């Protein structure tokens, strides 16, 4: 079942790279008492994700946060080393939190995964949501995964 507006985000643990090396962040710490924009992508460095989806959030980070957003996060079913490399290659440090859902447990629990045998495992659908204290207040899922319009920064700015 796909998560919907009004639902609470499930408990999850994301892998992240910290200044001290590999670490974790719990969903309660990420979402608790905060307004968070979270967008999901099928894969780091993939053409649409890297060249169309992520750049808008980097470019409009200050405007999004000025509308009351505490954190902008991107989640993908890539390991934390790939997510860390993507963060650095995109000059997104301090603007977007890169969250590794290595085993796809989070995107599967919210019903926003898809099977991708060509990649060897499940991937995240392209989505964007706004959560306030862990409750989903906006959700958009891209119909065409090769586009990032309904889930891009402009759509989030409009929803805020």
- pLDDT (0 to 100) of residue 114: 62
More confident residue, 92 or 46: 92
Mean pLDDT of 67-80: 96
- pLDDT (0 to 100) of residue 108: 92
Residue 21 resides in a domain: yes
- pLDDT (0 to 100) of residue 119: 62
| CATH number of the domain bearing residue 39 | 3.40.30.10
Residue 133 pLDDT exceeds 60: yes
Residue 17 resides in a domain: yes
Residues with Cβ within 8 Å of 51's Cβ and at least 6 positions away in sequence, in order, are none
Residue 92 contacts residue 73 (beta carbons within 8 Å)? no
Say what percent of the chain tops pLDDT 90.
Answer: 74
Residue 106 resides in a domain: yes
Query: By residue range, what is the domain housing residue 47?
Result: 13-159
Residue 77 resides in a domain: yes
Helices (H) and strands (E) in the chain, counts: 7, 9
Residue 76 contacts residue 40 (beta carbons within 8 Å)? yes
Residue 47 pLDDT exceeds 80: no
Please count the structural domains in the chain: 1
Residue 134 resides in a domain: yes
Residue 1 resides in a domain: no
Catalytic residues, by residue number, are: 49
- pLDDT (0 to 100) of residue 120: 60
Residue 55 resides in a domain: yes
């Amino acid at each position: 079942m796909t998560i919907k507006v009004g639902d609470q985000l499930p408990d999850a643990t994301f892998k992240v790279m910290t200044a001290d090396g590999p670490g974790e962040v719990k969903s309660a710490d990420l979402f608790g008492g905060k307004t968070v924009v979270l967008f999901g992508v099928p894969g780091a460095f993939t053409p649409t994700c890297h060249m169309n989806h992520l750049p808008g959030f980097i470019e409009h980070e200050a405007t999004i946060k000025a509308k009351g957003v505490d954190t902008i996060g991107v989640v993908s079913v890539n390991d934390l080393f790939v997510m860390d490399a993507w963060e650095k290659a995109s000059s997104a440090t301090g603007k977007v939190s890169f969250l590794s859902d290595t085993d796809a447990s989070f995107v599967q629990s919210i019903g926003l995964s898809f099977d991708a045998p060509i990649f060897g495992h499940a991937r995240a659908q392209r989505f964007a949501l706004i959560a306030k204290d862990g409750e989903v207040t906006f959700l958009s899922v891209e119909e065409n995964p090769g586009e990032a319009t309904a889930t891009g920064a402009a759509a989030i700015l409009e929803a805020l």
